Structure 1
Amino acid sequence: MEPMFTSYASAKGGREGHVKSDDGLIDLNLVMPGMNSSEKGTNPEQLFAAGYAACFDGALNLVAKNQNKDIDSKVNGAVSLLKDQEDDGFKIAVELEAEVNGVTQEEAEELTTAAHQFCPYSKATRGNIEVTINTKTK
């Protein structure tokens, strides 16, 4: 399969290092959350939350468009770092909160279920990490 596009980024110094994309748009220091450091920066979980939320919102809007539904949506992503009891290491879990306006609660839930099947991040994580999707309408 031929890629539509490929993105590039590098990391140096692990969780207390630096990440940078090849085009320089991402150029961020990394800091370990909760270490009471005066350093400012992001972390891998925050970057993953942003990417997954953006991808899922895109999938949600495409699914809605294909079903001729006019929605306004926002997806909030939360990625938690957890202690893994199986191997004494760490793992992540994701919670997505989809705010979907313009449809009923039932329709919004159907759309987010369909988006979860379609979203590339959801496909990549399926069966690997716990992903919870909460859907609400206003």
Structure 2
Amino acid sequence: MSIQPVDVKYTAVATAENGRDGRVASDDGQLDVVVNPPKELGGSGEGTNPEQLFAAGYSACFQSALGVVARKEKADIAGATVTAKVGIGATPQGGFGLQVALEAHIPNLDEATAKDLLEKAHQVCPYSNATRGNIEVTVAVV
């Protein structure tokens, strides 16, 4: 089953040069970064890497989805943060795969309420919908 957008409101465009050891830039000039594999994957560790960019996008998007859910539930998420930890490694099939751990700190809510909101946000977030069934994603309150 795939989830298809019904009414696309925005399309981000970015172009990579030299893959994981080069540069990525958006068409509007807002993003222009040097990318390099981390030292753990044989790179220099200079610049950023695709996993950091994915973690940044996922954490920001999930935080917004949490806000949507919290408004509907009339829950106070002031001061909340979402951290995305994106891991990369070899798969048994010989390629590479990702895994994600989403960790949310929601200081104004009890753990049960926070977990409920996170599960609902996980159903709303476009990144969660895109990765569901493809990679391991865990969601936790910290």
Deviation at 1:36, TM superposition (A): 5.9
Are 1:75 and 2:82 matched, yes or no?
A: yes
Are 1:134 and 2:137 matched, yes or no?
A: no
AA partner of residue 48 (structure 2) = T
1:26-58 Cα distance to aligned partner (Å, 9 max, x none): 100111101362x62111100000000000000
Number of equivalenced pairs: 134
Are 1:25 and 2:30 matched, yes or no?
A: yes
Match of 2:101 among 91, 95, 104: 95
| TM-score, normalised relative to structure 1 | 0.93
Deviation at 1:2, TM superposition (A): 2.7
Q: Which runs of 5+ in 2 are unaligned?
A: 1-5
AA partner of residue 111 (structure 2) = Q
What is the CA–CA distance in structure 2 between the aligned matches of 1:83 and 1:6, rounded to whole Å? 31
Q: Secondary structure at the match of 1:112?
A: helix
Match of 1:4 among 1, 5, 9: 9
Deviation at 1:7, TM superposition (A): 1.1
Q: Name the counterpart of 1:49.
A: 55
What is the CA–CA distance in structure 2 between the aligned matches of 1:92 and 1:121, rounded to whole Å? 13
Deviation at 1:77, TM superposition (A): 0.9
Q: Percent identity?
A: 46
The question of whether the paired residues in 1 share the 8 Å contact of 2:38 and 2:46 is answered with no
What is the CA–CA distance in structure 1 between the aligned matches of 2:141 and 2:89, rounded to whole Å? 24
The question of whether the paired residues in 1 share the 8 Å contact of 2:24 and 2:32 is answered with yes
The question of whether the paired residues in 1 share the 8 Å contact of 2:86 and 2:98 is answered with yes
| TM-score, normalised relative to structure 2 | 0.90
AA partner of residue 7 (structure 2) = E
Q: Name the counterpart of 2:3.
A: none
What is the CA–CA distance in structure 2 between the aligned matches of 1:55 and 1:106, rounded to whole Å? 22
What is the CA–CA distance in structure 1 between the aligned matches of 2:98 and 2:10, rounded to whole Å? 27
What is the CA–CA distance in structure 2 between the aligned matches of 1:101 and 1:110, rounded to whole Å? 15
**Structural RMSD (CA):** 1.2
